[in-house]
Amino acid sequence: MSGATAIGFLNTVAVGLGATLFMDVWALLLKRAFGTPTANYCLVGRWFRHMPEGTFAHESIANSSPRRFECAVGWIAHYVIGVIYALVLVGLVSADWLAQPTLLPALLFGIGTVLIPYLVMQPSFGLGIAASRAPGPAQARLRSLMAHIAFGVGLYVCALGVSYLAAGSAPLLTLSSTIGCAPQPDARRESRQDLKRVLFRSGRHAADAP
């Protein structure tokens, strides 16, 4: 992996983590302001913790037996999934988007990711496709959609931040290269030649002295 590729990968990871945090802060604000329920990521962890036993779908994930560390697993999975989404977005729109992010691709992609909970997670949790078996299907769908819209906006906002930081570090790198913080090979070679000439002249003067 080249240096530029590694930096691009790390920037994308930062965008994914930041966008997921943005979504969580948005959910917390909605809960504080309107009492909107937040997602229970312990249940996500329970779902993953049952998978090694061959159980991928549940009649009711809430009634399934709890597993050790399910909350930690759920929260870690939540942020890992956010990073994966960011990597997919950059793979679809090209790495140039990180340098000059625009809102529309991130927003549309965020909306598109709601299909994962609608078609995969909610049916696996026993809630039916698009939460059709949930106590309040319309509200559950709207909450999922709003969360993923927030995630899309977060992708854009965090990409803006990363691009700003990257642009700020570029002049420093250019300046460092220009002033030559580290001696260049040609400069070192010239210094050695100058030293040899000084030593040679000093030796001649010493030999000529009475």
Q: Give the residue, 196 or 5, on which the prediction is more confident.
A: 5
Q: Dihedral (C-alpha) 86, 88, 91, 95: value to the nearest 10 degrees? A: 0
- Nearest in space to 38 (alpha carbons), one of 184, 180, 143: 143
- Which residue ranges make up each domain of the chain? 3-179, 181-210
Compute the distance between CA of residue 25 and CA of residue 73 in angstroms, rounded to an integer.
Answer: 20
Q: Calculate Rg over the CA atoms of the chain.
A: 28
What does pLDDT average to over the chain? 86
Q: How do residues 175-199 score in pLDDT, each as one tens digit?
A: 344 334 343 445 445 545 554 554 4
CB 126 within 8 A of CB 118: no
Q: How do residues 127-166 score in pLDDT, each as one tens digit?
A: 999 999 999 999 999 999 999 999 999 999 999 999 999 8
DSSP string for 98-129: HHS--HHHHHHHHHHTTHHIIIIIHHHTTS-G
- The residue count of the chain comes to 210
Compute the distance between CA of residue 72 and CA of residue 46 in angstroms, rounded to an integer.
Answer: 10
26 contact partners, CB below 8 Å, separation of at least 6 = 147, 150, 154
